[in-house]
Structure 1
Amino acid sequence: MRVAVTFLLFLTALRAQVACACDPQDPDSLKERRCSLCAVVEHAPPGTPVVLVKDNSLKKPDRWLALPRTHSPGMHQMSALTDAQRTELWSTAIAKAKELWGDQWAVAYNAEKLHTQCHVHVHIGKLLDGVEWGEFKVIDSPDQIPQPGADGLWIHPVNGKLHVHLGEQLTETVLWQ
């Protein structure tokens, strides 16, 4: 037991030491791969609250990303966004998903410990057929989407409502590649 606790404390300390040095005031810092989404946001027209971009991964040709305009220090976290910013992010992501895939859409936010990019981003894609597992919360609108905390979540439509699957880790796997 003592070894397990020590190991968990070590992992927590290690994770806390991983720093994101993305600084919009320093364009050179945005050249790092982990800062590339920050750079994308900086190139968007001013006043754009949420930036939509096609995922540039060759393994995900039909995916999009929704990025909030807001930067936060270090590893950006969903919890750093205001309620209004978070609602705007989810609303924009869902609108794009509906535009692309009708009622077969899903949006996903991976757990923070799995992020390889410093900037907060939501994955937008087509929901895999037959995917529905675990516990979920039924809501009516994006402003009711709960704060995910350090965990991930994924959302999809069912009969005019939204199913929000909370407490997940790698959530983008519910989306078509």
Structure 2
Amino acid sequence: MRLLSVLLLALAPLAADVTQCVCDPAKPETMQARECSLCREAEKQPNGTKVFFLKDINPRKPNRWLALPRRHLPAQHSLAALTPAERTGLWRAAIDRAREQWGDRWALAINGDRVRTQCHTHLHIGRLIEGVETPNFVDVDGPEHIPVPEDGTGLWVYPVGGRLRVHLGEQLTETVLLR
């Protein structure tokens, strides 16, 4: 499993460069890039929508959903660019959707900047694969306490004993989810 993660991490930069996102809804020509496809989906959502969901279109991930904020963010569309209220709203909406799909076996993941292939901020929603625990985690009391990576890394979250376990410091995180 980790070998696959390393391979995907090595190949990810070939897919898209989200470190210098140019997706700008005010400039339609910038929205045609492959890495702007989720930005285009956000533009299709009604004004006033805070969070929306998309089924992952990758045929190798038939059990995955994405949670996305409607609002476009500057530059790399990092989680840190959302206000605390927007972040909490995104996490809460994603957790609710994950519980509907997977009960208590759910997990959420956001990949780090170096391996993301889409500019628009999005959380992966899926079922947690058993046995993927790593030692780098913190337990928090709720979505409003989920730490925000400031170093461009990703994180993954799942429920443990009435709390949320947040694994930090990784780039490729969505591999903890059932495909």
Structures share fold, TM-score greater than 0.5: yes
Structure 2 equivalent of residue 173 of structure 1? 175
User: Where do 4+ consecutive residues of structure 1 move more than 3 Å?
Assistant: none
Q: Secondary structure at the match of 1:100?
A: helix
Aligned equivalents of 1:72 and 1:51: distance in 2?
Answer: 15
Partner of 1:163: 165
Partner of 1:104: 105
> Partner of 2:165: helix, strand, or coil?
strand
Q: Unpaired runs of 5+ in structure 2?
A: 1-16
Partner Cα distance (1:18, 1:78) in 2: 14
User: In 1, Cα distance between the equivalents of 2:132 and 2:75?
Assistant: 34
RMSD after superposition: 1.6
Q: In structure 2, give the amino acid aligned to 1:138.
A: D
2:92 is aligned with 1:91: yes
Partner secondary structure for residue 22 of structure 2: coil
Q: Distance in 1 between matches of 2:47 and 2:160?
A: 35
Structure-2 residue corresponding to 1:8: none
1:24 aligns with 2:25: yes
Give aligned-pair identity as a percent: 52
Distance 2:18 2:115 in 1: 15
**In structure 1, C-alpha distance between the alignment counterparts of 2:19 and 2:173, rounded to whole Å:** 22
User: What is the TM-score of this pair, normalised by structure 1?
Assistant: 0.86
Question: How many matched pairs?
Answer: 162
Which letter maps to 1:172?
A: E
- TM-score w.r.t. structure 2 length? 0.85
Tell me the distance in 1 between the aligned counterparts of 2:56 and 2:161: 28
Give 1:93-172 correspondences, 5 Å limit. 93-149=94-150, 150-172=152-174
Change in CA separation of 1:132 and 1:91 when aligned onto 2, cut-off 3 Å: same
Which structure 1 segments of 5+ residues have no match? 1-15
Secondary structure of 2:104's counterpart equals coil
Change (3 A) 1:17 1:114: closer
